[in-house]
């Protein structure tokens, strides 16, 4: 466009209406996210090629630099975190961490095969601080600890607070619609802490919640014929509990499969007593062979909201 035609546009001008800062924030995740993005935008990246360790590793072990970068991403990247948490992780990363994350760290992963003989146990915490600490350094003791934050209700990884609810989701593929009950998930702890169970029985999924305080309250809905094929499918199960009752829903591939409606009972919470709440994926806590799950699983998540 020539200079003489620059101001000859006869189209209707579009003027953005004035908005407040609060209205701008409403369009994004949070004000913290904006602050983190601003910090990220203003960061100066040095012109260093981290593909060649000789460009930056002047002291120490170059191999160890890369190893620690991989470990940091593996142990601390907030895969299921907020956008603010993800950007903040990048802001707190070294330049080498960022290079490894953007160029070397695997972007695809495999899936789990349960062969009626193996399972996963996850220690959900909280656990006693003194247990297993004798003779160990502090960094090795707390290296894999969960973040304890009462304000964000991060007191135990697998607790259940009724009005907040829980969501259990995963991708699953079964080799056959077999008879008998097979444990997909079992969350339990010491006596009095309560239980959360999810199991396959033929083509059905049985969900069970048992309160751990006072007289036990049981909630055991079943979702019939949710397993109808032997392909990969995404499943999600939600539970909410309040004084008006307990509701449970099942979703298959993002679509509502069944809504159990409100049941006139209430489980206000399932919380750890001693030794924390632990999750067994692919088995019950009893580790009984007939109870072990057979199938493939990917992207298992347990949400507390």
pLDDT tens for each residue of 132-171? 667 777 666 665 566 666 676 667 778 888 788 889 999 9
Confidence at residue 243, expressed as pLDDT on a 0 to 100 scale = 82
Residue 286: pLDDT band (50, 70, 90) is low
Structure tokens belonging to residue 177:
């619609």
Number of neighbouring beta carbons within 10 Å of residue 196: 24
C-alpha span between 304 and 299 (Å, rounded) = 16
256: pLDDT strictly greater than 90: yes
Residue of 137 and 126 predicted with greater confidence:
137
Confidence at residue 64, expressed as pLDDT on a 0 to 100 scale = 93
250: pLDDT strictly greater than 90: yes
Confidence at residue 290, expressed as pLDDT on a 0 to 100 scale = 62
Q: Where are the domains of the chain?
A: 21-104, 112-303
Contact by Cβ (8 Å): 198, 223: no
Contact by Cβ (8 Å): 153, 162: no
| pLDDT (mean) for 241-255 | 89
Residue 236: pLDDT band (50, 70, 90) is very high
Residue of 60 and 26 predicted with greater confidence:
60
C-alpha span between 85 and 160 (Å, rounded) = 23
- Which CATH code for domain 112-303? 2.60.120.200
Contact by Cβ (8 Å): 259, 237: no
Confidence at residue 222, expressed as pLDDT on a 0 to 100 scale = 87
Q: What mean pLDDT, rounded, does the chain reach?
A: 81
Number of neighbouring beta carbons within 10 Å of residue 235: 21
113: pLDDT strictly greater than 60: yes
192: left (phi over 0), alpha (psi -120 to 50) or beta: left
75: pLDDT strictly greater than 60: yes
Specify the pairing of strand 245-252 against strand 222-223: unpaired
Confidence at residue 21, expressed as pLDDT on a 0 to 100 scale = 62
CA 225, 231, 232, 236: dihedral to nearest 10 degrees?
Answer: -10
Confidence at residue 66, expressed as pLDDT on a 0 to 100 scale = 94
Confidence at residue 10, expressed as pLDDT on a 0 to 100 scale = 58
Per DSSP, the three-state class of 225 is: coil
Q: Which of 198, 278, 179, 290 is closest to 237 using CA atoms?
A: 198
Q: Which of the residue ranges 21-25, 31-35, 117-121, 190-194 would you say has the lowest mean pLDDT?
A: 21-25
Confidence at residue 142, expressed as pLDDT on a 0 to 100 scale = 61
Confidence at residue 253, expressed as pLDDT on a 0 to 100 scale = 94
Helices (H), the chain: 21-26, 31-41, 62-76, 83-91, 95-99, 138-141
Contact by Cβ (8 Å): 194, 210: yes
| pLDDT (mean) for 256-278 | 79
Confidence at residue 221, expressed as pLDDT on a 0 to 100 scale = 82
C-alpha span between 279 and 292 (Å, rounded) = 14
């Amino acid at each position: 466009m020539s200079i003489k035609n620059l101001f000859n546009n006869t189209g209707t001008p579009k003027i953005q209406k004035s908005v407040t800062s609060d209205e701008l924030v409403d369009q994004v995740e949070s004000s913290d996210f904006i602050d983190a993005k601003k910090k990220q935008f203003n960061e100066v990246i040095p012109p260093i090629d981290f593909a060649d360790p000789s460009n930056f590793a002047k002291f120490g072990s170059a191999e160890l630099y890369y190893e620690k970068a991989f470990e940091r991403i593996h142990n601390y990247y907030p895969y299921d975190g907020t956008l603010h948490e993800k950007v903040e992780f990048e802001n707190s990363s070294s330049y080498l961490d960022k290079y490894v994350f953007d160029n070397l760290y695997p972007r695809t992963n495999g899936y789990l095969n349960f062969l009626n003989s193996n399972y996963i146990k996850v220690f959900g915490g909280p656990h006693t601080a003194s247990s297993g600490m004798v003779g160990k350094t502090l960094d090795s003791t707390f290296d894999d600890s969960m973040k304890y934050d009462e304000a964000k209700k991060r007191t135990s990884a697998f607790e259940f607070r009724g009005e907040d609810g829980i969501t259990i989701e995963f991708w699953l593929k079964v080799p056959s619609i077999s008879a008998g009950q097979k444990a997909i998930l079992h969350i339990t702890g010491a006596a009095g802490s309560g239980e959360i169970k999810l199991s396959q029985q033929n083509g059905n999924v049985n969900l069970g919640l048992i309160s751990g305080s006072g007289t036990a309250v049981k909630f055991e809905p079943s979702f019939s014929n949710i397993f109808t094929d032997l392909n990969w499918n995404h499943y999600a199960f939600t539970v909410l509990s309040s004084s008006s009752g307990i509701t449970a829903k099942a979703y298959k591939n993002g679509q509502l499969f069944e809504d159990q409606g409100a049941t006139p009972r209430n489980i206000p919470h399932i919380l750890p007593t001693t030794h924390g709440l632990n999750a067994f994926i692919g088995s019950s806590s009893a580790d009984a062979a007939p109870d072990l799950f057979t199938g493939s699983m990917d992207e298992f998540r347990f949400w507390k909201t």
